[in-house]
């Protein structure tokens, strides 16, 4: 199976990246032909105004990948923008992809809404419109297959229309001020490239005829769209592409130090570049069961972030003892954190050392990725020539 995946260069990697995807990548490279790339063009779909840190962020990702065990002998490791065939295929795919496929893409909508803080406005609009929409659907003189689905669609559309009108100043302009979003911000974020994000992603995968795509759950809509684009291309021009599947991990997700999803923007992440002291500070400050105030209060490991770390880093036998003692009120959180710190450091310190070593020769790191990019380019060229022939673009 051909395996392809990518990662946007958002800076140093943390435990969430490892358990979310990289651990899976490392397993897959042992058995399959694997292509892993740094999606620098994708970074520009949202952060196009701040490119000053781009090269630094790319280097951070490169170093972390190698330190974690991605192996250039087994995997083709490269930089997206060095393989221009991705862009050519993206352009061709953009011709055959209906705009509605992209506008309905839940990831696009989520991102747009998050970036522009529109969630609140949208919910408000939807809430106010639901009854009217329901009444409207009742008046439709045709058979409606799925009542709820239609209702959701209409609410989505109406909320979207109202948001556009709001930005045009047609309704309550002070609502925008209240939410602290500007018209300019809206138009400057919602770009052509941002809408086309998943088309580029489809090109990334299909240019290598990828069959398996190891990603996090949040990427499933993008993989689905990739399948649809492949199907449409094959239908129009003949069978060129496989229909790739997402490869999800079975590894449980690691929470951040506050129990929420681990994310740089939540300030709850433990990075591979963190020093031993920083890790200690973060671990000792972790959230535990809020009902366990004193050492002898019984705790609930199943809701405790520290316990999820034990499950990932401490031996099974020790973890069972910890669980028992916590529930029985015989283990205090401070001691429990000390233990988890020890297990965690056993995992982190060799990676940290490797990271430091690799970082010293950044030229060599760059070379590894340049070589990988050349290898990738060779593969990509083959697919592109097939595509050109299929589309009569000779």
Q: Which residues bind ligand TRP (CB under 6 A)?
A: 4-8, 39, 42, 201, 204-205, 213, 215, 219, 222
CA 60, CA 341: separation in Å to the nearest integer? 24
124 HSE (CA, 13 A, CB side) = 10
Minimum Å distance from CB 213 to ligand TRP?
Answer: 5
Residue 217 vs 278, nearer CB to ligand TRP: 217
Instruction: Report yes or no: 199 and 102 within 8 Å, Cβ to Cβ.
Output: yes
Residue 222 vs 355, nearer CB to ligand TRP: 222
Residue 222 vs 310, nearer CB to ligand TRP: 222
Minimum Å distance from CB 246 to ligand TRP?
Answer: 9
Minimum Å distance from CB 98 to ligand TRP?
Answer: 20
Residue 86 vs 292, nearer CB to ligand TRP: 86
Residue nearest to ligand TRP (CB): 6
Minimum Å distance from CB 2 to ligand TRP?
Answer: 12
Minimum Å distance from CB 81 to ligand TRP?
Answer: 12
Minimum Å distance from CB 209 to ligand TRP?
Answer: 13
CA 16, CA 172: separation in Å to the nearest integer? 41
Cβ neighbour number for residue 55 with a 10 Å cutoff: 12
Q: Phi first, then psi: what are they for 208, rounded to 5°?
A: -105, 10
Minimum Å distance from CB 231 to ligand TRP?
Answer: 17
Residue 7 vs 159, nearer CB to ligand TRP: 7
Minimum Å distance from CB 90 to ligand TRP?
Answer: 11
CA 169, CA 172: separation in Å to the nearest integer? 7
Cβ neighbour number for residue 124 with a 10 Å cutoff: 13
Which residue has tokens 């302009």?
173
Residue 61 vs 155, nearer CB to ligand TRP: 61
Cα–Cα separations (whole angstroms), residue 372 to 77, 292, 341, 376, 380: 5, 51, 36, 6, 12
CA 359, CA 12: separation in Å to the nearest integer? 12
Q: What is the DSSP letter of 260?
A: S
Residue 6 vs 372, nearer CB to ligand TRP: 6
223 class by beta-carbon count within 10 Å (0-12 exposed, 13-18 middle, 19+ buried): buried
Minimum Å distance from CB 220 to ligand TRP?
Answer: 11
Show the CA angle centred on residue 44, arms to residues 161 and 183, nearest 5°: 35
Residue 41 vs 313, nearer CB to ligand TRP: 41
Three-state SS at 206: helix
CA 125, CA 158: separation in Å to the nearest integer? 8
Residue 208 vs 309, nearer CB to ligand TRP: 208
How are beta strands 245-247 and 212-214 bridged, if at all? parallel
């Amino acid at each position: 199976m051909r395996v392809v995946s990518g990662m946007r260069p958002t800076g140093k990697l943390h435990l969430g990246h490892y358990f979310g995807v990289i651990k899976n990548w490392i397993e897959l490279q042992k058995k399959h032909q694997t292509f892993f790339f740094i999606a620098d063009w994708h970074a520009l779909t949202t952060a196009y105004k701040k490119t000053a840190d781009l090269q630094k962020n790319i280097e951070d990702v490169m170093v972390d990948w190698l330190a974690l065990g991605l192996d250039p002998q087994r995997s083709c490791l490269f930089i997206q923008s060095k393989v221009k065939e991705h862009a050519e295929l993206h352009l061709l795919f953009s011709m055959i992809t209906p705009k509605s496929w992209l506008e309905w893409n839940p990831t696009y909508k989520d991102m747009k809404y998050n970036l522009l803080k529109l969630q609140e406005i949208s919910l408000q609009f939807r809430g106010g419109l639901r009854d009217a929409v329901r009444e409207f659907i009742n008046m439709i003189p045709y058979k409606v297959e799925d009542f709820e689905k239609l209702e959701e669609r209409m609410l989505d559309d109406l909320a979207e229309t109202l948001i556009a009108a709001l930005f045009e100043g047609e309704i309550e302009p002070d609502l925008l001020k209240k939410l602290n979003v500007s018209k300019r911000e809206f138009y400057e974020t919602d770009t052509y490239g941002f809408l086309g994000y998943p088309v580029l992603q489809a090109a990334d995968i299909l240019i290598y005829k990828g069959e398996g795509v190891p990603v996090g759950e949040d990427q499933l809509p993008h993989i689905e769209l990739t399948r649809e684009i492949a199907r449409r291309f094959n239908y129009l021009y003949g069978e060129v592409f496989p229909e790739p599947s997402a490869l999800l991990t079975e590894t449980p997700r690691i929470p951040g130090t506050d129990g929420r999803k681990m994310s740089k923007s939540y300030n709850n992440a433990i990075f591979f570049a963190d020093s031993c002291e920083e890790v200690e500070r973060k671990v000792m400050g972790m959230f535990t069961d809020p009902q366990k105030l004193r050492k002898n209060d019984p705790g609930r490991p199943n809701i405790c972030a520290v316990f999820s770390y034990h499950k990932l880093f401490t031996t099974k036998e020790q973890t069972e003892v910890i669980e028992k003692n916590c529930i029985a009120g015989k283990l205090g959180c401070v001691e429990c954190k000390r233990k988890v710190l020890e297990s965690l450091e056993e995992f982190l310190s060799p990676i940290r050392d490797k990271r430091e070593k690799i970082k010293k020769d950044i030229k060599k790191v760059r070379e590894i990725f340049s070589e990988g990019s050349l290898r990738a380019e060779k593969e990509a060229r083959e697919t592109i020539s097939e595509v050109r022939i299929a589309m009569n673009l000779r």
